[in-house]
Amino acid sequence: MPDIRLMQLEDYPTVLGLMQQTPGISIRDADSEQAVARYLARNPSLSFVAVEQGKIIGCVMSGHDGRRGYLQHLLVLPAYRRQGLACRLVDACIVELARLGIHKTHLDVFRSNTAAQSFWEKQGWQRREDICRYSIISAGGENT
């Protein structure tokens, strides 16, 4: 059974590779090594990798704003899917968020990513129909 451990900045190249191989994942400037370093420093106990025989086979990043948790980039290599690994990664985040006093967590899924939508709904996550997400870019380009 794969081990789950905290993600470290040294894992970034492998995690980026996972992101690049995973359909439905959008890689933005905010996923640069520098940005991920800031994210991990701000949320030091909330992002995890799954490791088997020294190889990273999955990851999840999470953080919070003091009131709500946020999950990003849940990734598992195809050969390791449907074995409960994604659930273990998410559970690690939810348990740690709860330990920090954060009891509600959000995530974003592209409308076109129906497989991810199905996964989250099967895990008991509720699709929000009552809100719309709006974004603004204060600096940088469209890929910020």
How do the pLDDT tens digits run along the chain, 144 residues long? 899 999 999 999 999 999 998 887 889 988 999 999 999 999 999 999 999 999 999 999 999 999 999 999 999 999 999 999 999 999 999 999 999 999 999 999 989 889 889 999 999 999 999 998 888 888 877 666
- Alpha helices by DSSP H, listed for the chain, are 12-21, 33-42, 85-99, 114-122
Q: Which domains does the chain have, with CATH numbers?
A: 3-122 (3.40.630.30)
The pTM of the full predicted model, rounded to 2 decimals, is: 0.91
Which pLDDT score, from 0 to 100, does residue 124 have? 92
Is the distance from CB of 50 to CB of 88 less than 8 angstroms?
yes
Nearest to 47 by CA among 106, 98, 89, 2: 89
Residue 86's contacts (CB-CB under 8 Å, 6 or more residues apart) are 58, 60, 74, 76, 119
